[in-house]
Amino acid sequence: MSELTTVARPYAKAAFDFAVEQKALDKWSTMLSFAAEVAKNETVATLLASGEAPERIADLFIQVCGDECDEHGQNLIKVMAENGRLAALPDVQDIYAELVTEHQKQADVYVTSANELTDAQKKQVTEAMTKRLAREVRLHCTVDTELVGGMIIKVDDLVIDNTVRGKLERLAEALQS
């Protein structure tokens, strides 16, 4: 995440709390994703850095978003514009997504393997990670032909290297110490 993370956190938390209260997590996810993409647009980014009046920036931003943002989403945009924080919208969306995932007790597990995993292997990894993390697991699998064999499993800051290369490196370290 960028240096705007600290700035984005209170906005994301406020949007999340409101969405939970209104039972509108998916709706807010959609609104924030769209607004974040608008903020990433080069033309809009230039406008945000132009020093234009916050009210004007908010109005233009809301016009670009159109019907994608409801009244509450527009209020968030206005508040962020008044504080000169619209450039932080991509980070707000990222933090919001993390909060939703935590709230829903889900974990995104990324598995990189040398070969395509079979359904049985996917099930085994899902069950093991569900037990270890005590969360519902969403598995994301990719293939990296550079791996000799095995797999790398990543969840947040946890990395499990179960590749042949990783095992050989650990063996070499053990033999040298």
pLDDT tens digits, 13-50: 999 999 999 989 999 999 999 999 999 988 888 888 88
Provide CATH 3.30.2320.30 ranges for the chain: 105-176
pTM for this structure? 0.63
Strand, helix or coil for residue 148: coil
Element (H, E) at 141: strand 136-143
5-102 architecture in CATH?
A: Orthogonal Bundle (1.10)
Residues 6+ apart with CB under 8 A from 17: none
Residue 71's pLDDT is 93
Residue 144's pLDDT is 92
Domain 105-176, CATH class in plain words: alpha beta
Give the residues of the chain that fall short of pLDDT 70.
Answer: 1-2
Residues 6+ apart with CB under 8 A from 117: 111, 125, 141, 151
Residue 52's pLDDT is 82
